[in-house]
Structure 1
Amino acid sequence: MPNNKKLHIEATFLGTGTSQGVPVVACNCEVCQSNDSRDKRLRSSLLLKINDLNFVIDAGPDFRQQMLREEVKSLRAILLTHEHVDHIFGLDDIRSYNWVQKNPMEIYAKDRVQKAIKRIFNYVFAEFKYPGIPKMKLRNVSGVPFAIEKIDFIPIRCWHHKLPVYGFRVGNLTYITDTNSIEDVELEKVRGSKILIVNALRIEKHISHFNLEEALSVIEKIKPEKAYLTHLSHQFGKYKDAEKELPENVFLSYDGLKLTL
């Protein structure tokens, strides 16, 4: 388990929605039409400020908007859970950090995800580099812990239907999204977390995401002090209604919510 005994962590939910976000384009349901700001959800992503260094888990299409909203002036690295559009399509916007920090952005990802990045952002890795393109330094993530600036990150392998994806634990915080199955050996890496953030797409069962019942089952196994549900769809219901039905130590996340450890 992590040796990061002196870490000060501030976690900010950059986005808490699914691949379509909330509201969904052209949808007239009561959630999408809600005036409650907590029902407005950008694509899921987490900002971690750890001992004055900023890290982001996943950089989807809303990355630019999220960085501007939270006034993130520096970014040490980006960790990727997997290669789906709603988790990587904001990577082009690291260009501003390249310019300000005068170095390539370190992107931590599984080898399969790196191949997808090289294919999608082929201009970044082309022999002829067009002026002003983003600069990336890809770092491999496998099943073993790794350190950035002496901060230990533990990958948690999960299953997104048949696709292996990674959650991440740092200190006493674990972040898991886009999964519907976690093997017991991987759950052991999560035990002892004070805060567990886990996806719960909707109330009804889904082929590649935990629904509410499944997410609560994982939370019950881990028994964190507090748990937060993320990657929520408009099918989950309104924030003010849904939160009333949750156990005492379980909360719905919302965009902009900050947690401190």
Structure 2
Amino acid sequence: RAPSHTLNPSFPAPPLILSSIAFVCLFDPIQITVEGLSPLQKVTPRASLTGENGELFQSFAYYRTESNGELDLTCSSALAGSYSGVEPMGLLWSLESETPFKRLAKNVLTPFYVHVEVFEGHDITSQLVGKCINEQKFLGEGAKRILVREGQLKASLFLPPGSGPFPGLIDLYGTGRGLPEYRASLLASRDFVTLALTYLIFEDIPAFTDILELDYFGEAVELKPQALAESLCRAETARPPPSRGDVTGGRGARGVTDFCQLCWLCLFTWCCWATSLPSSC
């Protein structure tokens, strides 16, 4: 379906076109083009979205249209603003909050709504040329989220669409509280069976401790797909993945690397922002 757009009647109907569909999976490429403007006209595209906590995130960039009066962010170069140069996805990755160091708190089951507006000149307070809304989803079409509460485990399982088999991942974060799911949901939309696993400060799991029990990670690796298939009523999802690995960061990296040295089921681990690792790694 075509994206919604509103045009300023004082302009000769310049349509703002944002990709070929009105919704995409988060970080999927989109094409932003503006047509029907004057040659070499100064314009300022701006993107904005409001997080679940009410925080506003915005980005903008200064452009000149081409000699045919068109602007295409896949090949046009930004002169200044939140970014510069040719950046097709610049309006999205450069989004910043009005309050420094704020991040988007996100329920992965609900989408982001990105408002894209184009203003005349190099000023976001000038005349509005056109606008549209793009829906950005964490979960791709057909992907599934299942809450896992088996044994000691506190996790969420994300399954790609289709019958698989798919490679499996266990996703852990550092010492932050809660159960972050956004990375796992995005991986599931890229054909990885992903278990978002928490081990600190969630439900009945206590706060920071000096000892990480490796048996807890063992339960996650040995989680039986058959039990999950019963809750889904989809036999094809019971097929075990051909390989399993871990994506982890912060303090979780230490526990995972210790465990992977002992468990033959875990074939690889990817550690980011690790504070300390065993000397054998």
TM-score (norm 2): 0.31
Relative contact order: is structure 1 or structure 2 higher (C-alpha 8 Å, sep ≥ 6)?
A: 1
TM-score (norm 1): 0.33
Larger helix proportion of the pair: 1
